[in-house]
Chains A and B, each alone.
Chain A
């Protein structure tokens, strides 16, 4: 659905069901350079099970107008402004990768408005390799390739998708190619620069799930330990053999974990 946020065009996919006032709402926040379609195999279920789904396109991504926002905090404020625009007082947040930092920051700064939090492929801090940052800054296709290859486990790179006939790495790199100039770099830098998050973790009051991939090379599972320890009501699930792009690598397991907390 189209939603005007701060006077600009915003977009959120609703999982095939219209937004209904008064229903519990779940916001899904994608990673850098991607868009709402990464949640295709998770959102539709909730939309058909009594929730409002808002799989957003962050500013500068997909159908939401730019420019891309350059800090995690600005993205979090945009998400809250989107909820305001729809008169949604409270919502659950689900974020992946850079989007997990956006969800985390919103939950830490607006704890009264967030009912549950799911952080997928996450860690704080979330350092980004210089090689990737530099390549993204130069606008090189190699940056898309690095995100695609580091983003999938070795098994994921040979496929075997739960969704018949879909080729995961092909889909990931194609989606990244759709991002506008400078968008991936802005997101990676925002994630890399978000260093103070652990100081805010104690402010989170809602139940929180950290969903991690055992073979995640971008946000290794062990790197999330400090975050898991710092959030008061957090539990951790590690998906065996899974890489960073867990929504396509293990769509059903991700959905089942989300159902358990949302």
Chain B
């Protein structure tokens, strides 16, 4: 509105892009030179902005749905001191999730009042593949007599493993809200909306935001795993989230859990600080032997000319001469019949927070994984990893164990409705 450029002088964004495309045929640099201005925002990808991930279904979105480029986990303390208050909180969260993931116009108020929306996405919110996933922490149950009997079977405060240096200010919480979207602004907008809309129900405890590098698909249509900040592809051996039966076994909580919890999932969040300067000063061969894959392609060490999709043959290498027994991927997943039940679905983000007091980069991994069985999943895997050579280069400093509520069935349902229903029963089913 305050644009004082004479009308007709400044091309519209659409015209500009079309023009750029036409000019690019003849001279790839001419268009940029003619049109680029410092004040112009980076060009948006309208198709990406319009992507909508439905928040409804048997499971929450943001678990087996594709991982977009940005994500965060925010942990909150909860005020609810009665089943009614908890229901109000869950209904309110559901309303915000339904609105934010659908997108649309923000509310306009009298300008003498504070605006209803932070405005960082403008007056019209694009869905931008936004997902908001809500998980409950052990303290939510343990601190409330009326809720404690309904706790998921294995939910507890996050264990402190031998290599952990946990900072209490970055651990645990009553509720974890995972927010993912294509754009960082969309993620931050959703977080600010929830904080502004629910000040009387939840208090922010800690938050970690991260991102995943975008990777161009190869000619054959496959997309390689994104790299973490150690420069390795991360997620090569992840179970295929498109295989429903596999996800039913690996990710979604079933019969052992209380009835209300089925269709949910255990979420493990770990803030893993990486000592990246030191890592970058480590010989490549040692990096690869510590990790267990080649750095460039992610191929297993016994298939160095292959791809990350190739499966290492540990049976042919029982003494670990090629893939060391202590290497990260071999400890994490020894690929024996016995360890098949330890599969987890990883969905992490890289983070970069600035500089430590020692003048080193504060970078690492916002590790997030999902499993039907916490003990057989993350805990078993981490217990095998304890003492791995790579521990020299990273240290977990925070995080928590949470349990993702089952999905919001449809627009008439709300998050945790089954839990609330069971709370209302005179004799709670302790399952």
Whether chain B is bound by chain A comes out as: no
